[in-house]
Amino acid sequence: MKDKLKETELPEEEMSEEAIAEEFDDAADGAELTDEDDAASEYNDSAAQYAELEDALAEANDKYLRLFAEYDNYRKRTAREKADTYSNAAAKCIENLLPVIDSFERSLEAECSDDNFKNGMSMIFGQMKDFLTKMNVTEIEALGAEFDPNFHNAIQQLDGTDYASNHVCQVFQKGYMIGDKLIRPAMVAVAI
């Protein structure tokens, strides 16, 4: 623009008004094109930056969602492991207590001349049964039930019993479950 003005630079008196107007129009057109080019370039730069920011935001959001899902899975897994650990520890404790309960049952069936002693043993046994109930321990009903190898351990087969074939006709040792988990299967005899 300045070059054009230099080419036609004459003293103002010598230039006609038309020439001056033409010079200003040409200079204004060049300035408008330059401003439009600058605006388009600036718009393209802004659009590119906006696209980059959108991509960065999408990537950060994806990372956040993955991290959140991973944390949620971790939280659920640790809660499940904690419950399993508690359940396994309780089952192991009850399993070690079952022989004591079996001994109590046998001792209550034995003859005893001292009624106070027998009543005391019955009360202690009642407390142990209450403890098992609080711990969600249930006895497996075996006598007369159909034989199920998941809950019964058959150690004998008997013929000529009052029970139907493949049904438990005698219980040697009671079986127990804690919740849905088997602690000890019942040792039984099965009718054939």
Q: What angle do CA 100, 152, 107 make, to 5 degrees?
A: 25
112 CB-near residues (< 8 Å, 6+ apart): 118
Quickly count: other Cβ atoms within 10 Å of residue 173's Cβ: 16
Which range, of 6-10, 51-55, 69-73, 169-173, averages the lowest pLDDT? 6-10
Q: What pLDDT does residue 34 have?
A: 63
- Tell me: the pLDDT tens digits for 111-143? 888 889 999 999 999 999 999 999 999 999 999
- The reported pTM is 0.60
Closest CA to 187 of 172, 177, 176: 172
Q: pLDDT category, 10, cuts 50, 70, 90?
A: very low
Q: Could you say which DSSP state residue 113 is in?
A: S
Domains of the chain from N-terminus onward: 136-192 (2.30.22.10)
- Tell me: the pLDDT tens digits for 20-29? 556 555 555 5
Residue 87: beta bridge partners?
none
15 CB-near residues (< 8 Å, 6+ apart): 8
Q: What pLDDT does residue 93 have?
A: 92
- Tell me: the pLDDT tens digits for 66-85? 999 999 999 999 999 999 99
| Euclidean distance between CA atoms 88 and 132, whole angstroms | 15
